A and B are shown apart, each in its own frame.
Chain A
Amino acid sequence: MKTFILLFGLVGSSLAYGQQSINGLVESPPLSTVRLLSSNDRPLDFSSIENYTNGQLIQNYCQLEVKSNHSWVLSAVLNDYSGVGGILTSSPDLIKVKVQGTNQFVSLVPGVPIPIFVSNNQLLRNSYVIDVWVDPKLKLGDHSIKQLQLSFQLASN
């Protein structure tokens, strides 16, 4: 009897109004990217003693766009230090970077990703301006040309 009542109720409700459904799927894997929007890439001239004692600050060195659908951490890597000899290893504070809006420069270590910023909002897209401080501390005095290369990478946090 209960079964009959349940069956009658289902049929009755289906006739009261028409209803149908279809199924779908949203696949949203973790995705992220960092892009270089602009750069202020220029040679630095260490021709005075002050350039060595105080270093040189390159403001607005580059602008990065970070796009991610999940929490992230941005790291900087000092990639190419060939030709510099042992200077970098003996001067760990030679290259420092800072995300504008933060307080402290972060010293880079050759070949090692160093976190410089962590996502602090829920926006899918953010852009950041990076300052670079080159501080040789009297250790680049051999009149040779040194080429350095920075890269930035993104990882999930």
Chain B
Amino acid sequence: MVMINGFMVYYFKYSTKIHNFGINYAPTMKKFFLPLFGVLAAATVQGQIAMSSTPPVAASLESNSNSINVVQQMPLVFSYESIDDYDVDQVIGNAFTIELAPRESTKFLFCQVVFLGPPQIGLAQRLGLKLRNPINVPYSGDFNHISYLSPQPVKIAEIGKLSPNTLQYDVVLRKQTQMEATGSFNFTLIFSIIDP
């Protein structure tokens, strides 16, 4: 008699690869980039001064109805610890708020996602935003659903005259069924508010 019994389940977890990105400028480009760095440095200083006291920010928002201020509430880090994490949506609740200036007419709010490094189309297509407490903020679609992002700007909200001036957003990374590139991938969410 031969009996076969028992199984062992093996689980493998591998260390994370981190990709570093760098930019090398040719010496001949100094003439172009030095003024640019000067402008960026000036903008940074201006931002620090503005954040140190409330009135300048409020004055700035009121003076330009297309002003936008994105305030990050939570780190936008999605970290998969188990293969089962891919089976469910990964959600960062109340990830950031968007402060808008008072307006006399409807504005369109756009967002695009830019991943750094190698192409990661699958990741960009799975990344989405969900508006919390969407009172008086009509979407281009049903605001109960998630607006999924792309490398091109996607309209995520229409801001009417009576819409609230502060919008809260969750960030969602949709569940996954296909293999994608593994590693660490930096991304940037770019928000724009424009007139229709």
A90 lies within 8 A of chain B by Cβ: no
Q: A27 contacts B84, CB within 8 Å?
A: no
Chain A min CB distance to B193 (Å): 4
A43 lies within 8 A of chain B by Cβ: yes
Across the two chains, which residue of chain A brings its CB closest to B107? A18
B179 lies within 8 A of chain A by Cβ: yes
Report A-chain residues with C-beta under 8 Å of the C-beta of B185.
25-28
B86 lies within 8 A of chain A by Cβ: yes
Report A-chain residues with C-beta under 8 Å of the C-beta of B14.
29-31, 156
Chain A min CB distance to B119 (Å): 14
Q: Which of B35-78 contact A (CB under 8 A)?
A: 35-36, 38-39, 64, 66-70, 72, 75-78
Across the two chains, which residue of chain B brings its CB closest to A41? B5
Report B-chain residues with C-beta under 8 Å of the C-beta of A67.
83-84, 86
Q: A15 contacts B64, CB within 8 Å?
A: yes
Q: Which of A20-39 contact B (CB under 8 A)?
A: 20-36, 39
Chain A min CB distance to B81 (Å): 8
Chain A interface helix/strand/loop/mixed:
strand
Report B-chain residues with C-beta under 8 Å of the C-beta of A153.
8, 10
Report A-chain residues with C-beta under 8 Å of the C-beta of B17.
29
Report Cα–Cα, A31/B192, bound state, in Å.
36
Q: Given A18-B66, A31-B82, A32-B83, do A145 and B3 touch, yes or no (CB 8 Å)? A: yes
Report Cα–Cα, A107/B18, bound state, in Å.
40
Instruction: Mark each residue of chain A from 1 to 28: 1 if its CB lies under 8 Å from any CB of chain B, else 0.
Output: 0110011001000011111111111111
Report B-chain residues with C-beta under 8 Å of the C-beta of A148.
2-5
Q: Given A27-B80, A36-B9, do A124 and B184 touch, yes or no (CB 8 Å)? A: no
B1 lies within 8 A of chain A by Cβ: yes
Q: A20 contacts B69, CB within 8 Å?
A: yes
Interface residues of B (CB under 8 A from A): 1-17, 35-36, 38-39, 64, 66-70, 72, 75-80, 82-84, 86, 96, 123, 171, 173, 176-195
Interface residues of A (CB under 8 A from B): 2-3, 6-7, 10, 15-36, 39, 41, 43-46, 58, 61-62, 67-71, 79-80, 95, 122-125, 132, 134, 136, 140, 145-156
5 pairs across A/B with beta carbons < 8 Å?
A19-B191, A20-B68, A28-B181, A29-B13, A147-B5
Q: A19-B190, A154-B12 are in contact. List 17 more A-B contacts (CB 8 A).
A: A7-B35, A18-B191, A19-B191, A19-B193, A22-B96, A25-B78, A28-B185, A32-B12, A58-B4, A67-B86, A68-B83, A80-B6, A123-B179, A125-B177, A145-B1, A146-B2, A156-B14
| Closest 9 pairs (CB-CB, A-B) | A24-B76, A18-B68, A3-B35, A151-B8, A153-B10, A31-B83, A30-B14, A27-B79, A29-B16
